[in-house]
Amino acid sequence: MGLKFFNTLSRSVQEFAPLDGKKVGMYCCGPTVYDYAHIGNWRTFVFGDLVRRYLEFRGYDVRHVMNITDVEDKIIRKLNGMRGIPEILPPGVSSQPVQIADETVTVSKTKNLTLQGYTRPYEEAFFKDLQSLGCLKPHSIPRATEHISEIISIIEKLMARGIAYQANDGSVYFSIEKYRGCGCNYGQLLKLNFEEMRAGERVASDEYEKESLADFALWKKRVPDDGEVFWPSPWGEGRPGWHIECSAMSMKVLGESFDLHLGGEDLKFPHHEDEIAQSEGATGKPFVKYWLHGAHLLVEGKKMSKSLGNFFTLRDLAGKGFNGREVRFALLQAHYRETFNFTLDGLTGARTSLARIDECIGKLRELSVHSNADAEQEVNKQFTEALDSDLNIAAAWATVFDWVRETNKRIADNSLKANDAASALAAWEKINLVLGIGAATEAEAPAEIVALLEARQAARKAKDFKRSDEIRDELKAKGWIVEDSPKGPKLKKI
């Protein structure tokens, strides 16, 4: 059996066959940098990272592209807020230097604030978060504002084919009617009921109602609220619509047709459907072969909302004592097409599960010192079979924890020899290339804790076990436990 994905385009599970043998072009919708990414966004980005890692694990040569949307309606609204309308600062941004993603940046509330001055701190914060979650950095990271000429070129082709038009308001729109009149299919990613949808409307907004069958803006004529955010074009000063940005950036890097396009299921319509229409309308070629969409995320059983207090960024979760590794583990528990309920209890469970893995791997490292061996085959085989089936991550984790339990059993009964331990460790390292959970970071014990450990060892040597137990309890109260091993005692942060 080969690798199979559920392709939204065909509404079926299909065997993965790239357009160019083992080379894979993969585009993931990236962040709109007007605020910090929240946990719902991160589910999609971690899902994209899993796809890339697994493709590379299976021997594919992946070109991973993730865009940066750095001009869009929400950004303009936020930028206007920074210029004094309304009198509200974006989260984490003030008129004083602020600490964002371990780097000090200064963003002032001023009428002279530039688009780049507003968006770059959030962009930098996004990539720090991406690293914290163990995600691989994309090979190409195009920004919308750096692809204006490519955007204009696509619009010119659409106008030349009669699929786009300049309206009385000066903006350029994509005509759904003209596109369908050319024999093209609008509604490839989901079935649209054209009789029930409101037709004939024209929508300048980047986001519009799902039930609206609307001609959408490709180029927006400059208006007073845009301030200095505009570019020259054959149709006058203005800025691009959101949908056309992704078409221009993806095709610039990956070509007019490529293999994979990923995103959250909320982007199917209108964003991804409009991407297909404008791209295929301009080139006359199939745009993307496989579309993969991740399902929604609930938080504590409800839709995420700031008013409900269940709206979390990575910074919020760090403030509650959780790290990126634990968040990644939690986000990788459910199949990407299943709605997932993200909870703080789930994060605590992630910490416990990671500790089980870390303890097992730590023992394997001790046993396999100075030994080398090829990776154990059976666990890798079962792991691969699970993920080959449309990334069945639940089955993959089941394989991992069955393996951990069996490995611990063999360690306990002394039946795991050094070469076997080395083989098991090599198998885990291959699996971890896909899961991306890395290894536990050893906490460095403060001097006072080390001194207590030494005092405990002195008490044990003097056979003063009462004092030894008292020190052990004192260490535990301070958040440390002592693990006795053949190589001596080890401190472990609770």
Is residue 190 situated within a structural domain? no
Per-residue exposure over 6-17, b if at least 16 CB sit within 10 Å of its own CB, e if not: bbbbeeeeeebe
Confidence band, pLDDT 50/70/90 cuts, at residue 450: confident
Mean pLDDT of the chain: 90
Q: Are residues 128 and 261 in the same domain?
A: yes
Specify whether 392 is located in the same domain as 336: no
Instruction: Tell me the three state secondary structure of residue 183.
Output: coil
Q: How far is CA 244 from CA 100, 154, 223, 281, in A?
A: 30, 8, 19, 12
CA distance 267 to 190: 11
Domain shared by 393 and 483, yes or no:
no
Pair 363, 453 in one domain = no
Residue where a domain stops, chosen among 435, 467, 482: 435
pLDDT at res. 92: 44
CB-based contacts of 420, cutoff 8 Å, min separation 6: 373, 410
Q: What is the mean pLDDT of residues 46-59?
A: 98
Cβ contacts of 415 within 8 Å, gap of 6 or more: none
pLDDT tens digit string along 420-442?
A: 999 999 999 999 999 999 987 66
Q: Which residue segment(s) compose the domain that 485 sits in?
A: 447-493
Within this chain, do residues 113 and 248 fall inside the same structural domain, yes or no?
yes
Element (H, E) at 264: strand 258-264
Q: Do 131 and 157 share a domain, yes or no?
A: yes
In a domain, 54, yes or no: yes
C-alpha dihedral sign at 387, 393, 395, 397 = positive
- For the record, the structure tokens of 337 come out as 């097409």
Same domain, residue pair 386 and 461: no
Residue 103 has pLDDT above 50, yes or no: no
Q: What is the CATH number of the domain that holds 147?
A: 3.40.50.620
Q: How far apart are CA 266 and CA 243, in angstroms?
A: 14
Residue 216 in domain: no
Residues 253 and 338 in one domain: yes
SS3 104: strand
* Same domain flag for 267 and 385: no
Contact 471, 459 (CB under 8 A): yes
Mean pLDDT of 115-127: 95
Q: List Cβ neighbours of 182 (8 Å cut-off, separation of 6 or more).
A: 161, 163, 281
Number of domains the chain contains: 3
User: What is the per-residue pLDDT across 247-289, written as a single tens digit (0 to 9) for each?
Assistant: 999 999 999 999 999 999 999 999 999 999 999 999 999 999 9
Q: Which of 298, 318, 342 is the last residue in one of the domains? A: 342
> Of 153, 146, 85, nearest to 119 (Cα)?
146
Q: Are residues 416 and 467 in the same domain?
A: no
Kindly state whether residues 331 and 359 are assigned to the same domain: no
For residues 108 and 96, the answer to whether their CB atoms sit within 8 Å is: no
Residues 294, 403: one domain? no
Model pLDDT for residues 225-253, shown as the tens digit of each residue? 999 999 999 999 999 999 999 999 999 99
* Mean local confidence (pLDDT), 402-421: 94
First to last CA, the chain: 44
